[in-house]
Every structure is written in C-alpha cells, then in structure tokens.
Structure 1
C-alpha cells in the first residue's frame, strides 16, 4: 500500500479527547497505509485541560498531507491564525481531504472550506456555526457529514464514528472493524443518526436493549420483525420502538438495514460467495435488494465494492467505479 499522510492540526485550546481520537485512529499499523504527524502553528500548544503539548510537525507536514484533520477547540469562535486559515484553504484547493472533529468545524468554516457544503459540529455550538457562517449548511441532527473530500463530525465521541467511516471508505469494513475492536468501539454507527439523544441514564444493572441488538446481529440472515425484537427484549412493541430510538437515535428497521449492509461488505471483502448468496446471508434477500441498498448507502454496486477492496484499492477507486 502506498503511504497516506495524515496531518492532525492542533490549535491552541485544543480539546484533549478530540485530539486523541484521530491520533490514535490513524497511528501506524501493519494493515493500514497511514503515516500520522501531529502538527501545530507553534512548537507548544495549550489544551483545554491546562497541560501543554510539544509538537514536532509544522505547516510543511500539513502541506504534504493527503488528509488534514482539525480537532475541536475552545472557544470555537476564536479566529484561528491566518497561517492556519491559509493552510486549510490551500489543502482544500489542492483536492486534499479536510476533516474536523467537533468544534474544529469552526476553523474549516473560517477558512471557507465549508462554504456551500453540509457540515455539523457539537450540538451546543450548532446555532453559532449557523449564525456566524451562513454559507455553511449546518446539519444539527447527524453524527457526521461526508461531503466527499470534506468531512465533519459532531460532539467529541462522534469523531470515533467519523474516523472509522474514513477508514472504511479507504480500506474496507474488515480493517475498520478490526481497528474498532482494538479500540473497544462500536464498529459502525451511521452518520445520519441523531447526535443528541435525550435518554435517561440507565439504572444500575440495566443494560437497555444492548442484549437484544447483539442477539439480532447474530441472526441477520433471518427475517427479523419489530415484534420479534420486542419479544426478545420483554417489552411491548410501542415501548421497544421508543427505547430503541432513545438508545440509538434511529429506528429498529433502519438499524437492521445498516447492520446488514455492514455484514454484506465484510462478506464481499473476505469470501468468494456469489452476490445472491451474500444477499441471503446478510438478510437482504435478493441480489436486487442488495444492489439497491448499496447504491443508496455507498453509491456503488456490490460487484464494484468487491473489486475495489479485494485488490486493496482506496476510496478514490471505489468512487470511480460507483
């Protein structure tokens, strides 16, 4: 695999968790091509937790990067230095991938990178983004937004979902799931889920519907109805629907579709099963139905997806064959 250079750009007032997510996710691993460098405008950067970072990378590394990631900062409306804005605008103009975690979206917006695009940020700051940058189409009800070469995530932990989404785009579901397991993170949350779910904190010993979701994941090849899921959870269908939305930010049926597409991706990457058999094994029934959901979700076909990720190509080839 050719090297893919990732520059994580830490600005003064960076949030430590936002910074840790991409630096951990894109650190060097044998199965990935990523070469990650922590960069900053100055040699030392102060975090919101009060400690300082000693940073080795500068703007030469940012300019050489294939992907530039800006973690969240506080306060988000403080204008970044002109050199930062110029570097982000230049990266976008050169067709490089530009990404923000949480309030890092404000730096991208200030640089004009988000003009005319959908974007998101932490739910507490989405109104500020919408007010201060009217050229940006602020989306307040998602975990992350993928606009091709510009991607933004909502609140801090949504950065995990976005980074795994990027790995999945680049290298396929198998590698992304392997990294997720290593981080003890959920392998996939669809970007369209709500970022702020006003659910009560579970009582001690109450695991919610997690056990039912795990049960369903082991039976994706079968037809699963809401009634069956509710029976397994031991609640009424009405209560199940309400609690499921509270816990996941989506509906049971949409969650099942996403899980089935995820399983189909793994089967296409790791087996020689026919498209018809993959469709049956992941619970989507027919090859036509599998193609429909691949087109809707990934903007490609199962055959093109398999060709891309069994030869080790990256996201650009996938988009080209879609």
Structure 2
C-alpha cells in the first residue's frame, strides 16, 4: 500500500479544533478512569501510596495521546482507556523511582511532596513496583472489545518500551553520564529517546495497535511519536533553565545541580528551540496521509513545544 493510499476512519474534527477543550474533556475522563482503576484494599498503605502519586494531577499527555491515536484509527475511547490508564501508571512509577535519593533525589513533583518524602523510601520503591505490575494486569483484565492478539501485541510493545531496551536503559545511561563533561549529542539523544521517548512512542503505537492499524500506519505513527518525544525532552531541558519551581511544580535547575549535560548546554537555548520546532515539523509531516483525522495529534504536537511546564 502506498502512502497516498492509507485509509483511516475520519472523525469530523473541525478546522477550528479547540485543543484546550479537547485536553480538558479527555483529562476529565482519564482522571475518572484512573480513580476507579485502583481501589484501596489491604494493606492500605501501599495502595494509598500508589494512588497518592497516580492521582497527583499532571497534563495526562501520555494517556491522551493513546486515546487520540486509537480514535484516529477508527477505535473508541473505551477500547483504549485501560491501556491509557496503564501508561499513566507506568509513567507515575518512573517518576516515583526517579525522585528517590538514589536517583535524582527530588522533594517535589507536580507541586506536591514526592512519594518517598510522604511514605518513605521503602514504600515508595514498592509503590512504583506495584504500579508497574498492575499496569499490565489492568490492560489484560480491563480491555474489552479488542481482539486478544491486538491486546497481546500492545502489552509486548509497552513492556519493551519500559524495560532495559527502553526507559530503564535510558535511565542507566543518564545516571552513568552525570558529572561527565564529554557526553556527546549521540549519547544524550540515546538517553532521551529511551528514557522519555520510548514511553511516549508506546502511547501512540499502542493506541494504533488496539484499533487494528496496519504496519505501515504504525511505522508513520512511531516516527511521529519519536520526534515529539525528543522535542518534549528538549523543551523540558529549556524549562529547567527558564522556568521557576512554582511554574514547573518540581524543583527547577536540577539538571545544572546534578551536572547533567542537556541540549541547551550543548547547543544553547536558541538553537535548542529551533531543533525542537524542526522535530515537531517532521512529526507533523508523518501525519499528512491521515488527513483531518489527525487534527488532535497535530495539535498535541504543537502543544509540546508551546507548553510552559
């Protein structure tokens, strides 16, 4: 099938698409689904710790990317919501562990005390472990009206994105690069393509898989997601320098304190902004064959470079 022959469902998104309203509507649905996904049972402490970080707010960009892609490919929000919740569970796990004293040693996340500051290091580690395991259980148990093979494919793709070939591997190289002055752009890109980008890419690809996308469609969506993932990290690096703690909801200037190499430290602020914009342009180009069905994903790509936290 050639690029021009790609066929997708075409939801009636208007040309004056209201991203703010779209985000608000989807955030509300995701928040409700997350709250219902994880009840508190015995031993209450671990479930309360898991819920403390899972329900601490945030942009919910990852689950929204999953929902938007599934809808674009002709699926429904109901089909993708368990996976969308699981993606946020895994993202939350990564934040809990990233904030630990053995990692980034941060006191605040999303404007609140980090999990280990409230529950202690031991419970925080277990809360992250619990969220990671529960995420996969939840996809397998709660996903309805999707062929089993597609559910299995989504689980496999997500598992790889989270493990040593993805998020974990990126975190390892990140830790090993701290304090080094000879970190190259290639190493920095490896870190962020894996630590940040792999999970963002899984959000988009898993949404497409659940809706029955073809390999060609998945390839285009994967490249879209990889580009927005790297742009997302570049903007994060910029905001770490330019934004305040109140604006970020977490400690500002942490990269400088940890002597981490960042894109602005290698390229400068203005060149980093240009690179982020070029990545978004490349991402949006991958969506051209999907027509107006791609309007939400196009708008979300722009949102990544225009955000202030």
TM-score by length of 2: 0.31
**Higher strand content, 1 or 2:** 1
Higher gyration radius (CA): 1
Q: Which has the higher helix share?
A: 2
Tell me the TM-score normalised to structure 1 length: 0.30
